[in-house]
Chain A
């Protein structure tokens, strides 16, 4: 299993699409590593500077419909090569969500009130998230406040994360 958790990047916007996560012009790259410097390069978010704001971050918390648009798996790959293996949001676009689990990464959905609370309490400070995968729990802390939340993953999603992805699972089974 991949390591999950770490310092959190808060992206306070809904409908962040895969073109913003990794622009199409980089889809000519065959190696995932080449995507690394271009993560969130075209994100439309007031005051956001990808180089400054991504530094040291290994988790993302955002709003609704993260990863909408193109089916490109380059979006999770661009996160992965930057060490970001977990995204927490109110919900995800279907293909992006499936791509995350197919790569053995976590796309965790939390209710809108919880997401609101996370932004309220933690988004203005250095925040760390710890993932308790066996017990489906996330713990956020910023030195001052510590909060734990339960999440739900389907058995299939959990299996994919544990198996490290869908290819080996499917080839053995079908």
Chain B
């Protein structure tokens, strides 16, 4: 019987099966940030176990609130900073080199096909875009990951989503994943892995695949996984050229992590994008999704472009194409948070930041910021934000605020119009 990608990764990493339904896996990466790691560090110290399993496999960043906004966030940063120094963790990203974890770590080449990755952050599923099994965990699992380099999971059941058809202009990975979540629901893939397949995925950039996998958790999924291919090799090539004699050899090695043709899936869903429209959320759950045209005219107070979902270069480029030569509506506060310093620098050099600034946007440093209402654009009660982030939960960006999730193109068009609007319509 054939195997899914997750099954192959589990088999290659299993160190124990303490009970029939539990698989303890060896971890290739334990990723850390300053919100969930300090409590783990604190607990390890209290238990007299202030150790790390392998400083090379642990990567850390201060990203959620950076620069620190108060004494508490400063202390969280300090605990993480002191810890990485104490244990010789070299890959640590602090002010000046820090960015949103799920954009930064892939950009550094830390994630490879076939890897097992955990982090104390639910959007860790993003890294599945590289053909890895990447799962968000709580602080206790993170703590054990740091200490022992293992994590326990139940045997993965996989839902296969074949994305077929031809993606219309003005419709992006964000619309696709909102459409998928709208179809299967926020509980539709709970405790399941989603494998994304099909010609639309094959034609996608790594950035778009990350957007897609990023929101797999909004349907409850443990990890979203795309099969490694030439695009994966191309993205990783600067980091792996010392390991493989050619791109062809690298691809051959990565294809070890392909799903078998006779793999057994719990469910197979065909998702045709040919008639997909730009989508937007309403309400407080990511599966409450409507075509943008049905929400057209909804007034917004703020537009936020950034986050681990849509703060990458490609996203800024798309938004800038809409904003070029235009001014945002006088009642709208525009906030752009490029996800990493690299994205920031590239956008600066390409003149993209100038387009945002000329349009009237505020450009912040790379940080998670307003996405979870911690800094840089928290809403007042009754305010509405058009956002390229991943969660429209009640209170997420500030108590009493309302969030509408959308693509960077729709967000940019909405910033100009002052109301939710369709970007291709706007361009016309």
Q: Is the CB of A65 within 8 A of B186?
A: yes
The reply to whether the CB of A102 lies closer than 8 angstroms to some CB of chain B is: yes
Question: Would you list which residues of chain B between 338 and 383 have a CB under 8 Å from chain A?
Answer: 372-374
Question: Would you list which residues of chain B between 202 and 234 have a CB under 8 Å from chain A?
Answer: 217, 220, 222
- A92-129 vs B, Cβ < 8 Å mask (1 yes, 0 no): 11111011001100000000000000000000000000
Q: Is the CB of B122 within 8 A of A170?
A: no
The reply to whether the CB of A143 lies closer than 8 angstroms to some CB of chain B is: no
Binds B, one of A3-11, A19-27, A51-59: A19-27
Q: Which residues of A contact B394 (CB under 8 A)?
A: 19-20, 42-44
- A8-36 vs B, Cβ < 8 Å mask (1 yes, 0 no): 00000011010110011101111000000
Question: Would you list which residues of chain B between 4 and 44 have a CB under 8 Å from chain A?
Answer: 15-16, 18-19, 21-22, 24, 35-36, 38-39, 42-43
The reply to whether the CB of B264 lies closer than 8 angstroms to some CB of chain A is: no
Q: Is the CB of B393 within 8 A of A69?
A: yes
Q: Which residues of A contact B72 (CB under 8 A)?
A: 28-30
Q: Which residues of B contact A28 (CB under 8 A)?
A: 35, 65, 70, 72-73, 76, 374
**Interface positions of A (Cβ within 8 A of B):** 14-15, 17, 19-20, 23-25, 27-30, 41-44, 64-65, 68-73, 76, 91-96, 98-99, 102-103, 154-156, 159, 165-168, 170-171, 173-174
Say whether, besides A17-B393, A19-B395, A25-B374, A154 and B22 are in contact (CB < 8 Å).
yes
Closest to A20 in B: B394
Binds A, one of B137-145, B255-263, B311-319: B137-145
Say whether, besides A94-B222, A156-B21, A99 and B138 are in contact (CB < 8 Å).
yes
Contact of A73 among B36, B75, B147 (CB under 8 A): B36
Contact of A156 among B19, B139, B140, B399 (CB under 8 A): B19
Closest to B143 in A: A167
Contact of A166 among B140, B222, B374 (CB under 8 A): B140
Closest to B47 in A: A167
Q: Is the CB of A154 within 8 A of B21?
A: yes
Q: Is the CB of A71 within 8 A of B143?
A: no
Interface size class of B (residues with CB under 8 A): 35 or more
Could you name 22 residue pairs across A and B whose Cβ atoms are closer than 8 Å?
A: A17-B391, A19-B393, A19-B395, A20-B393, A24-B373, A24-B396, A27-B36, A28-B70, A28-B73, A29-B72, A44-B394, A70-B391, A71-B120, A71-B137, A73-B36, A73-B39, A98-B137, A102-B141, A103-B140, A159-B18, A166-B144, A170-B152
* Complex Cα spacing A64 to B217, Å: 16
Q: Is the CB of B220 within 8 A of A65?
A: yes
Q: Is the CB of A91 within 8 A of B138?
A: no
Q: Is the CB of A19 within 8 A of B391?
A: yes
* Complex Cα spacing A169 to B217, Å: 28
Say whether, besides A25-B374, A98-B138, A30 and B39 are in contact (CB < 8 Å).
yes
The reply to whether the CB of B60 lies closer than 8 angstroms to some CB of chain A is: no
Q: Which residues of A contact B331 (CB under 8 A)?
A: none
Given contacts A17-B393, A28-B73, A98-B138, 17 further A-B contacts (CB under 8 A): A19-B394, A19-B395, A19-B396, A20-B395, A27-B64, A29-B72, A30-B42, A42-B395, A43-B394, A44-B394, A69-B217, A156-B19, A156-B22, A167-B49, A167-B147, A173-B18, A174-B150
The reply to whether the CB of B183 lies closer than 8 angstroms to some CB of chain A is: no
Q: Which residues of B contact A69 (CB under 8 A)?
A: 122, 217, 391, 393
Q: Which residues of B contact A171 (CB under 8 A)?
A: 49, 144, 147-148
Q: Which residues of B contact A64 (CB under 8 A)?
A: 187
- B228-262 vs A, Cβ < 8 Å mask (1 yes, 0 no): 00000000000000000000000000000000000
A55 to chain B, nearest CB (A): 22
Contact of B122 among A42, A70, A76, A159 (CB under 8 A): A70
